[in-house]
Amino acid sequence: MDYESIASKFQMEGAFIQGEPFGCGHINDTYALYFKQASARPVRYILQRMNESIFRNIEELMQNIASVTSFLSEQVKCEGGNAQREVLQIIKTTDGGLYYRDNRGNCYRAFLFVEDTVCLQTIEKPEQFYQAAKAFGKFQRQLHAFPAETLFETIPHFHDTRDRYRLFTEAVARDTAGRAKSVQKEIDFIRMREKDTGVLLDLLENEQLPLRVTHNDTKLNNVLLDHKTGKGICVIDLDTVMPGLIHYDFGDSIRYGASTAAEDETDLSKVSMSLELFAAFSKGFLEECGQSLTETERTYLPFGAKLMTLECGMRFLTDYLNGDTYFKIHREHQNLDRCRTQLKLVEDMEKKEEKMAAIIRECRQYCF
């Protein structure tokens, strides 16, 4: 790959030194570019080759990111912060565009590298989850006044849980891979919770929940933490920023971060939802954005965690029934194992529903 040639299409300052693959993302190809400037150390930029098999409309996606980051930058400045460190900064092309397409059709974009930060793949202690929660909560608070309805849906029906259930039932009926009989227990588990799939959408349609700007991929590794203080600095990976419900971001964080086991753990006795981690995230999240949420939003946060987990379980099982055509697998039956961990988490959340609700009530002090 000719890093220097591609870099020359962007407004990057200094003399190009080198480029190299960076990070461990699974969707886009990511690289770090080094430039020599007057400063003591090289300045880095992030370059990404975007995956158009996942994101079909790059123009709309980049418009979303530009709109949100511009709004966030102004909010950070008003609060006396450093926007170049706390908000992803798009590096425009030499002709002022948001991305560059080469003569082979590959699409590239660039961001300023946020230095002196770490990106964690797993939670080592509750404090890290708490800091990630504060970053995501701050993201929500600062976008409170942003008109969410003006954003494009980069992945249509992404968290449309009714539609996810429809796709699941169609996969069961088709039974493309001939696996339905062997997973009847899992199929029945999901079918028994069909009514859950419409709860939040009904509240939205009845105007009992407001439409928000949602990140939609609120994993720990999408928050950069300061390498000295450990505090959450910047929310990254904004490809799935869309209109949605606050419960999508809160719920997916809990689903992924508060689980006591890996997403594809085969020993289900190891799988549960940690109330300690649930409390740590709830506290950090509501400290930052609790005052901007409605009472109904806060009440349904635990349900959001359960629903996002159920949705993910449905998606894994749907893909397994379809012959593993969407999620990458590295071994046979991995999608089934992923499904089973999610359904075990759903079951555990149902048992801990009252305790989860009590934790949210205890956080009410941050909401007024």
Residue 48's CATH number: 3.30.200.20
Number of domains the chain contains: 2
pLDDT of residue 368: 61
Last residue of a domain, one of 92, 115, 138: 115
Query: pTM of the predicted model, to two decimals?
Result: 0.94
The mean pLDDT value for 178-196 works out to: 98
pLDDT of residue 337: 97
Q: What is the mean pLDDT of the chain?
A: 94
Q: Where do the H-state alpha helices sit in 157-245?
A: 161-174, 184-191, 199-205
Beta bridge partners of 20: 32
For residue 365, pLDDT beyond 90: no
Q: Clarify whether residues 218 and 311 are in a common domain.
A: yes
For residue 233, pLDDT beyond 70: yes
196 within a domain of the structure (yes/no) = yes
For residue 182, pLDDT beyond 70: yes
121 within a domain of the structure (yes/no) = no
pLDDT of residue 27: 78
Q: Clarify whether residues 236 and 286 are in a common domain.
A: yes
Tens digit of pLDDT for each residue in 288-340?
Answer: 999 999 999 999 999 999 999 999 999 999 999 999 988 888 999 999 999 99
The mean pLDDT value for 254-274 works out to: 96
**Contact of 257 with 129, CB cutoff 8 Å:** yes
Collect all residues with Cβ–Cβ distance below 8 Å to 50 and sequence separation of at least 6. Answer: 28, 58, 61, 99, 107, 108, 109
Tens digit of pLDDT for each residue in 123-163?
Answer: 889 999 999 999 999 999 999 999 999 999 998 899 999 99
Beta bridge partners of 65: none
Q: What percent of the chain has pLDDT over 70?
A: 98
49 within a domain of the structure (yes/no) = yes
pLDDT of residue 9: 97
**Contact of 204 with 211, CB cutoff 8 Å:** yes
Last residue of a domain, one of 115, 138, 173: 115
The mean pLDDT value for 169-180 works out to: 97
Q: Clarify whether residues 236 and 99 are in a common domain.
A: no
Range of the domain at 110: 3-115
The Cα 137–Cα 143 span in angstroms is: 10
The mean pLDDT value for 186-198 works out to: 98
